[in-house]
């Protein structure tokens, strides 16, 4: 992990097209601005973890196929 110290209004550049700016500091909270291409997803870590967990749950197939709807069970049996 690279650790960088920045002051208010200073920036960090990642690659050619991502810039992180320190917009505000209030107590132990830091307000960051992130400039990135639209096709680059940017998430807070807790949101990203939640998305991953929901995707894993959605992709899981129950061990007991009787828990599935009739249509879902038919697809699995094909």
What pLDDT, on the 0 to 100 scale, is given for residue 65?
Answer: 58
- Structure confidence by residue, pLDDT tens digits, 59-69: 876 666 565 56
Residues lower than pLDDT 50 in the chain: none
What pLDDT, on the 0 to 100 scale, is given for residue 49?
Answer: 94
What pLDDT, on the 0 to 100 scale, is given for residue 34?
Answer: 98
What pLDDT, on the 0 to 100 scale, is given for residue 58?
Answer: 82
Strand 29-35 relative to strand 11-14, pairing: unpaired
Structure tokens at 18: 């991502």
- Does the pTM of the predicted model rise above 0.85? no
| 3-state DSSP assignment of residue 4 | coil
């Amino acid at each position: 992990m690279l650790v960088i110290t920045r002051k208010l209004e200073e920036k960090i550049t990642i690659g050619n097209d991502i810039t992180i700016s320190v917009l505000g500091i209030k107590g132990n909270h830091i307000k960051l601005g992130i400039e990135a291409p639209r096709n680059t997803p940017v998430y807070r870590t807790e949101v990203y973890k939640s998305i991953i967990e929901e995707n894993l749950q959605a992709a899981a197939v129950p061990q007991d196929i009787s828990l599935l709807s009739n249509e879902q069970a038919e697809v699995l049996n094909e």
